[in-house]
Amino acid sequence: MTFAIIQCPLPQLFATITGIEKYLGSGLIKGVGPVTAKRIIAFFGLETLDIIENQIERLISVNAIASKRIAMIQKAWQEQSCIKEVMFFLTKSRCLYYISSQNL
């Protein structure tokens, strides 16, 4: 198996509702799929990532999110901190690398 790295300039992914929704709904954060991501973003908007990072207990206000799911999200959020930081850095510098598995 080989990996190809493709450079793509993108707008600031995490500065938009759509970007935040794609990130949260991507499956990287256990407990948040596409439907839950939409619910969270509908409630918190552009403040979503800050809420998850600094006031995660506020997720209880979102329909269909209970304490057990919040604990799961918090654990996954902490486990994904390195990936999250790299993605934030790359999108902030308007550059994101996609790694795809291909037989070249």
pLDDT digits over 27-80, tens only? 889 999 999 999 999 999 999 999 999 999 999 999 999 999 999 999 999 888
Burial of 52 (0-12, 13-18, 19+ CB in 10 A): buried
Cα dihedral: 52, 54, 9, 37 (round 10): 10
Which residue type occupies 70?
I
The full set of domain ranges for the chain reads 2-102
- Cα gap 51→73, rounded to integer Å: 12
**pTM, two decimal places:** 0.69
Element holding 39 (H helix, E strand)? helix 34-44
